[in-house]
Amino acid sequence: MRVLLTGAAGFIGFHIAQALLARGDEVIGVDNLNDYYDVSLKQARLNHLLPHKNFSFHKINIADKESMRPLAKLGPTHVVHLAAQAGVRYSLVNPYAYIESNITGQTVMLELARQLPQLEHFVFASSSSVYGNSAKVPFAVGDAVDHPVSLYAATKRAGELMAWTYAHLPTIPCTGLRYFTV
């Protein structure tokens, strides 16, 4: 497999990259290395991955469609899209970061996936935040998620709806994962 992995320097992305590389897959890592989380920690993770012959890294903002477009020529067969602006509280301070990364970035990634004739699967990260203040526990995939209580949750739910649409119109095989606190 040749996997395009966004958010490759993040906690989940790093561990997915390690697992993919360990089984012999090729990983095309993308991360913008923003400073929402400790950049030195992200760089340390990358330093661990960079020596691997099946790993390449591209410092790109996923919302920059012109910078992302050339990655399609690398021929990924799978996309694992984890890059996003995280954090509920920060969305009150910088809402535009969420729109850029979680809405525009999701659109760029779905459009990129449409350009991959060899694409077998598109996996993306959503969030348990889409469940809002639901009193029902445990949560279930079929639960109503129509009342987000933060902009972060709203952008992640919007990303799910966008992926649903792309999965049905151009038939991109899609799976969304609703992560809880990692």
Nearest CA to 83 out of 20, 117, 34, 41 is that of 34
> Cα separation of 1 and 94, whole Å?
37
Q: Catalytic residues, which ones?
A: 152
Token pair for residue 41? 């920690």
Nearest CA to 149 out of 133, 161, 160 is that of 133
Q: Which residue has the tokens 């992560």?
A: 179
